[in-house]
Amino acid sequence: MTHPIQTTLLTVLTTAVLAGEVFAQSETNPLTRTRRTQTPAEASADPFARTFRGDRIQLVLKRSTSGYSGTLRFGDQDYPVTARVLGPSLRGSFRANGEDGPFTAKLTADRMTLSSDGSEFQLIGDPLPNATLRTTAPKAGLSFVQPSGWSIAEEDRGIAYIAPETGHAMEGSAVQSIHSLPLNAEERAMTLEDLTIAMMDRVFPTMTLGKGLKISVDLPQGGEQRQGTTTWYEVPMSIRSGEREGRGWLGVKPAGDRALVCWVVGLAPHTDTALKAGKCVFTSLRRIGTTTENR
């Protein structure tokens, strides 16, 4: 099935500039209109249970009954891993050529130092949700787990914007918008791919990302994703803002008579970190109450 926007170029020309200056001119602080609560799941966020990436090395860990299990990728080879916590570190082993190779991994914030047989590697962990912060955006009708170092603001139309806080390394390089959009009967019957196209048509004109941001959308590279019982459709994008390049990501998931949508943009050199933070927000999106956002 071919769609007219499978490869298209959109130019977004609106009033605010990227990320750090959104709402900067507001006379009142919109952050005071958000409410924060802690959930048991968020309180127990596990700093080891995520993906860590370095130069030609990647470690993926998840909780298991005996500690952690996962995969160590070095170059283009994958090795199964088991590990246990030892203070602020992990001690474990990976299976290679029928033998166990020992390693230790010390974690300081998001930075992991992995050591094995005298070799040492530096890895950075994917963003964790803030373990104590679930933010509510009442006008957008949404709540979500807020990544550390990001904050939320709301516009009158009910769209929630999330950007790195002042002084954050990514300030001016990243921004997210999240939406709870009403669906008519025809849209509720659509496939996820067709629904995503419909939501893109509605979301892009609302973006406050000035400076002639150019977005190249390649729909064929998107596809359905699943996590537990939740299914969504995601679309990657290429981004250019002046001389700066980066990538974007849009996710759409149905939620009854509404679609939950997240659009995130990250400019180099913070593209990967921004997109990971965007997926953290999107996968934790929940509907709350009612929304004032119009069609």
The answer to whether the predicted template modeling score (pTM) of the entire model surpasses 0.75 is no
Q: What is the pLDDT of residue 8?
A: 33
Task: Please name which of 288, 275, 266, 8 lies closest in space to residue 136, comparing C-alpha atoms.
Answer: 288
Q: Assign 240 a pLDDT band (cuts: 50, 70, 90).
A: confident
The CA distances from residue 275 to 118, 136, 171, 255, 270, in Å, are 34, 21, 14, 22, 9
Architecture of the CATH domain 7-40+128-287: 3-Layer(aba) Sandwich (3.40)
Q: Is the pLDDT of residue 137 over 60?
A: yes
User: Which residue would you say has higher pLDDT here, 139 or 271?
Assistant: 271
Kindly report, residue by residue over 151-172, the tens digit of the pLDDT: 876 655 557 888 888 777 788 8
Task: Please name which of 149, 159, 115 lies closest in space to residue 22, comparing C-alpha atoms.
Answer: 159
Kindly report, residue by residue over 207-233, the tens digit of the pLDDT: 444 445 666 665 556 788 877 667 888
User: Which residue would you say has higher pLDDT here, 147 or 182?
Assistant: 182
- How large is the average pLDDT for residues 74-100? 89
Q: What is the pLDDT of residue 154?
A: 60
- Cα torsion 10, 14, 19, 20 to 10°: value is 150
Contact (CB, 8 A) for 146 and 133: yes
